[in-house]
Chains A and B, each alone.
Chain A
Amino acid sequence: MATIRIDNVKKRFGQTEVIHGVDIDINDGEFIVIVGPSGCGKSTLLRMVAGLETVTSGEVQIHGKRVNELEPMDRNIAMVFQNYALYPHMSVFDNMAYGLKIAGTAKAEIAERVDKAAQMLQLGDYLDRKPRQLSGGQRQRVAMGRAIVRKPAVFLFDEPLSNLDAKLRVQMRLEIKALQRDLGITSLYVTHDQVEAMTLADRMVVMNAGVAEQIGAPMDVYQDPRTMFVGGFIGSPPMNFLQLRQASDDSMRLPPQIADRIEKAEGPVTVGVRPEHLSLDANGEARFSGRLRYVEPLGAETLVHLVTEGGEQITVRQDGIAQLPEAGSQCVMSSAAEHICLFGKDGARID
């Protein structure tokens, strides 16, 4: 049970600054997911919380105590690594018992705690096996078990599912979520997969180029992206972006309340709208036109790709299997005014 506070944390490798001051406050028992593209600094941030990287400036607190100078072992944390990092020469039992043995826990208690964790993770039959005799999913479970038995204050996950196949990933995702709920241990989870982030997180942190662009509950972040990056990164297919040359050109007709806001803004404005908020009709207040390029029917949904006169791509998501015009024909799309997001020249929302 612990809170975590990351206070204006920066990281420099030599001359290059990779994390430019991140603030996150994590409540007791909360599941926080840090999501972002590769190289955005999310793993580095996690490793600083773990104590595997030094903090260049700023402060990391666990349960109200500054831990910047503490060794990993003194922070009362457990970490699950992307490649599982199991000890290859030890049995599953010894892997899970390793931390307890070092801490000098009594043998009987070690056996009891490992057995309990093994039961929870359905590893009971594999305790004598070596990691190389296990499947990917089982190894992942052993890594989780090793974290659980120590009863840490904080769980840290570094892309734990990226080495699994797609089906197993979905299953393990649910298991991790359920486990975290049951144990109620504060968790920090790093991933590049936005679906993982959306499904697991109580709150998510979207990182880009060493900056936390937005922190919030998954649905808030989805519905109300504060920057163009967040709108483009969260959601699949991503948000459509259209550069606005003038308030109303031929390919875009915006309602007056939006046009007003654009008038007031300085510099060029980008209009963002999610694919599922567009439909191929003229019923909404904000209208766009484009030429249909191709259609991706996926069964449950149909993705329609269009291109505007200015050469910008637009994707429209239709439910089910839709009746559509021929490729190459000119189409009208529209959306309700409240679904339109406006971004200023620095990529931040203007409302």
Chain B
Amino acid sequence: MEKRVIFKGWLLPLLLLTPQVVVTAVFFFWPAGQAVWQSLFIPDPFGLKSQFVGLGNFEFLLRDPFYRASFVTTAVFSLLVTAVSMGVALYLAVLADRLIKGAGTYRTLLIWPYAVAPAVAGVLWLFMFNTRVGVVSWYLGLLGYDWNHVLNGGEAMGLVVVASAWGRISYNFLFFLAGLQAIPRSVIEAAAIDGAHFWTRFRTIVFPLLSPVTFFLLVVNIVYAFFETFGVIHTITSGGPQQSTTILVYKVYADGFVGQDLGSSAAQSVILLIVVGILTVIQFKFIERRVHY
């Protein structure tokens, strides 16, 4: 059912829309416009004047092997973070949904990690896996495994993925649990009477009915992995070793604010903007079609 309100004049609707438009303009269109503008220039090292180079920044970036590697890194990183955080959260939610006693406590404890800021979570995991004093790396050492994420790119990637996914599990868990509890009990019971065992029920009934939640979380988690994991990566690896954990958003920061190459940094953020736009379109066009609302 569509609800339409008809206004007599122009003033009131404009007034009602203004706050939203102003917020979007100030915090999105203005900086995004500046980024687009800046991506067409190369400033001198002291920031006194800048030279117009057209699409030169973009041309340089697309030929840069480090930048292309960062694309792959980002893809691997966000896929892993999304898969790990959603997979674990779904598993925990399914278990919590079956709980009768102590469900409240279990849920509350699972939600806590969400309250930990990404940078703090990063430091926490860094301490545990510190190559010299970390608890986990010490135990791994006892088992004969020499953990060193400072030198080993794969281990570094593993660590930032786990640290980023960890805080995210709580958030995903909440949504999955709410989704599970919204499925009518009798539908599950009907399937049980129809002869479906737990995992068959999960595969054929529960998971399809959960798909709106899963789709929403997929979008939210990929966006999270793209942007909000900055704190984790900055505290744990600073993009290293050898740029093996430099995701796109980290490279924007590193090139712009550390390397002082503002033109390239701006061009990267424009590309990032386009990538996220394309991803969102793909998600809504192709995945949403298979979602049962």
Binding site for B on A (CB under 8 A): 50-52, 71-73, 77-79, 81-83, 85-89, 98-99, 102-103, 146, 150
In the complex with contacts A87-B205, A88-B292, A89-B209, A73-B195 CB distance below 8 A? yes
Distance in angstroms between the alpha carbons of A156 and B205 in the assembled complex:
22
Candidates A50, A73, A86, A146; contact of B196 at CB < 8 Å: A73
Which residue from B193, B196, B204 sits with its C-beta under 8 Å from A79? Answer: B193
Number of interface residues of B (CB under 8 A): 18
Let me know if B191 is at the binding interface, CB within 8 A: yes
Given contacts A85-B186, A87-B187, A89-B208, contact A102 B193 (CB under 8 A): no
Q: Is the CB of B190 within 8 A of A73?
A: no
Q: Give A190 Cβ to nearest chain B Cβ, in Å.
A: 14
Contact among B186, B190, B200 with A102 in the assembled complex (CB-CB below 8 Å): B200
User: Are B184 and A85 touching (Cβ within 8 A)?
Assistant: yes
CB under 8 Å from chain A, chain B span 179-215? 184, 186-187, 189-197, 200, 204-205, 208-209
Contact pick for A83, options B186, B193, B197, B208, CB 8 Å:
B186
Specify the chain B residue showing the minimal Cβ separation from A73: B195
20 contacts between A and B (CB under 8 A): A50-B189, A52-B189, A72-B189, A73-B192, A73-B194, A73-B196, A73-B197, A79-B189, A79-B190, A83-B184, A83-B186, A86-B187, A87-B187, A89-B208, A89-B209, A89-B292, A99-B193, A102-B196, A102-B200, A103-B195
Q: Which residue of A lies closest to B211 (CB)?
A: A89
Q: Determine the chain B residues whose CB is within 8 A of the CB of A81 once the complex forms.
A: 186, 189-190
Contacts of B187 in A (CB 8 A): 85-88
CB under 8 Å from chain A, chain B span 144-199? 184, 186-187, 189-197
CA distance A81 to B186 in the complex (A): 7
Q: Which 8 A-B residue pairings sit nearest by Cβ, starting from the closest?
A: A99-B194, A85-B186, A89-B292, A85-B190, A73-B195, A81-B186, A102-B195, A72-B193
Find chain A residues with CB under 8 A from B197 CB. 73
CB neighbours (8 Å) of B192 from chain A are 52, 71-73
Known: A51-B193, A79-B190. 11 other contacts (CB 8 A): A50-B193, A52-B189, A52-B192, A72-B189, A72-B192, A77-B193, A81-B189, A85-B189, A89-B208, A89-B209, A99-B195
List of B residues within 8 angstroms of A89 by Cβ: 208-209, 292
